[in-house]
């Protein structure tokens, strides 16, 4: 590795779980995540799909920051919810275990930055002691379609809370975002604060740690917008800056 490359912050990314039709699992990453980190000046490093805590701790050691990517539902058993709820989507014990371990480790350490996207935002809240709404249409209503198949388009409005870290880095109190989520933050974890809500229905669209550590979760998918949506690009730049 060249000296120039080593100066760039190393961002560890968690993989999504994909079940193969013939059996077995893939740990995979959407290219938009690694492209967004590269565009922001970071070096993306996708972690292997494992719940081996010693291996994860060793892999996390050289990382300068962590990006929790999107994916399926978080198992409600992890936050006192009902794992038998028929509205629950696909869950992965392996991925839940892996991401909660990594997130809690950096939360306890209190230094290196964490950016959570969609499911990652939800994982951050659960890791810090919060709960999730399992199914938005049945629990919140259908005034806004948060599960919009137009993944690369701005589909609903979000209000950003003035004075938050998100407000400082986006520089606006109202933006429009894409939306492809089934769950959302319900009871906020004690150390977190809400930094954005969906305008029409109040669904939590971003959370952050109330403190000096960059620990920020966005419910939308900024990686699908980063090349043409300044508020989304700003999230990746802020992660890389905090990792530098």
Q: Which of 32, 99, 205, 223 is catalytic?
A: 223
Q: Is residue 118 among the annotated active site residues? A: yes
How many other CB atoms sit within 10 Å of the CB of residue 105? 17
Distances (CA, A) of 30 to 97, 105, 135, 151, 223: 21, 25, 24, 13, 9
Report in angstroms how near the CB of residue 73 gets to Mn ion at its nearest: 15
Closer of 69 and 179 to Mn ion (Cβ): 179
Q: Provide the token pair at 87.
A: 């509205």
- The window from 34-42, 119-127, 172-180, 225-233 that contacts Mn ion (CB under 5 A) reads 172-180
221 counts as binding Mn ion under rule CB under 5 A: no
Considering only CA atoms, which of 108, 91, 113, 104 is closest in space to residue 53?
A: 104
Q: Which of 146, 156, 181, 221 is catalytic?
A: 221
Span between the terminal Cα atoms of the chain, in Å: 18
Spatial separation of the C-alpha atoms in residues 38 and 31, rounded to whole Å: 11
Report in angstroms how near the CB of residue 176 gets to Mn ion at its nearest: 11
14 counts as binding Mn ion under rule CB under 5 A: no
Closer of 106 and 203 to Mn ion (Cβ): 203
β-pair partners for 133:
184
197 counts as binding Mn ion under rule CB under 5 A: no
Site string for Mn ion, 77-106 (x = CB under 5 A): ------------------------------
Query: Of these, 125, 179, 183, 213, which contacts Mn ion (CB under 5 A)?
Result: 179
122 counts as binding Mn ion under rule CB under 5 A: no
| Closest residue to Mn ion using C-beta atoms | 179
Number of residues that bind Mn ion (CB under 5 A): 2
- The window from 13-21, 38-46, 76-84, 142-150 that contacts Mn ion (CB under 5 A) reads 142-150
146 counts as binding Mn ion under rule CB under 5 A: yes
Q: Is residue 156 among the annotated active site residues? A: no
Considering only CA atoms, which of 101, 94, 132, 108 is closest in space to residue 15?
A: 94
119 counts as binding Mn ion under rule CB under 5 A: no
Q: Is residue 229 among the annotated active site residues? A: no
Considering only CA atoms, which of 220, 213, 208, 222 is closest in space to residue 243?
A: 213
Q: Which of 32, 99, 118, 182 is catalytic?
A: 118
- State the burial class of residue 233 (Cβ atoms within 10 Å of its Cβ: 0-12, 13-18, 19+): middle
Spatial separation of the C-alpha atoms in residues 99 and 90, rounded to whole Å: 16
- State the burial class of residue 54 (Cβ atoms within 10 Å of its Cβ: 0-12, 13-18, 19+): exposed
Contact set with Mn ion (CB under 5 A): 146, 179
Annotated catalytic residues are 118, 221, 223
């Amino acid at each position: 590795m060249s000296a120039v490359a080593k100066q760039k912050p190393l961002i560890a990314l968690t993989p999504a779980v994909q079940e193969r039709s013939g059996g077995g699992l893939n740990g995979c990453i959407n290219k938009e995540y690694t492209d967004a980190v590269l565009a922001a000046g970071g070096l993306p490093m996708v972690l292997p799909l494992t719940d081996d805590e010693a291996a994860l701790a060793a892999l996390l050691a050289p990382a300068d920051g962590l990006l929790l990517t999107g994916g399926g539902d978080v198992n409600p058993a992890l936050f006192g919810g009902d794992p038998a709820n028929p509205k629950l989507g696909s869950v992965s014990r392996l991925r839940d275990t892996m991401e909660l371990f990594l997130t809690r480790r950096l939360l306890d350490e209190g230094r290196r930055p964490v950016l959570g996207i969609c499911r990652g935002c939800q994982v951050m809240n659960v890791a810090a002691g919060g709960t999730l709404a399992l199914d938005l249409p049945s629990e919140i209503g259908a005034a806004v379609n948060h599960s919009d198949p137009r993944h690369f388009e701005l589909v609903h409005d979000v209000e950003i809370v003035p004075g938050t870290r998100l407000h400082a880095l986006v520089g606006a109190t109202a933006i429009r975002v894409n939306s492809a989520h089934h769950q959302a933050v319900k009871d906020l974890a004690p150390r977190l604060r809400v930094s954005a809500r969906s305008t029409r229905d109040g669904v939590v669209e971003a959370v952050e740690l109330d403190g000096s550590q960059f620990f920020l979760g966005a419910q939308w998918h900024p990686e699908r917008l980063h090349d043409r949506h300044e508020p989304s690009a700003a999230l990746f730049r802020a992660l890389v800056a905090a990792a530098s």
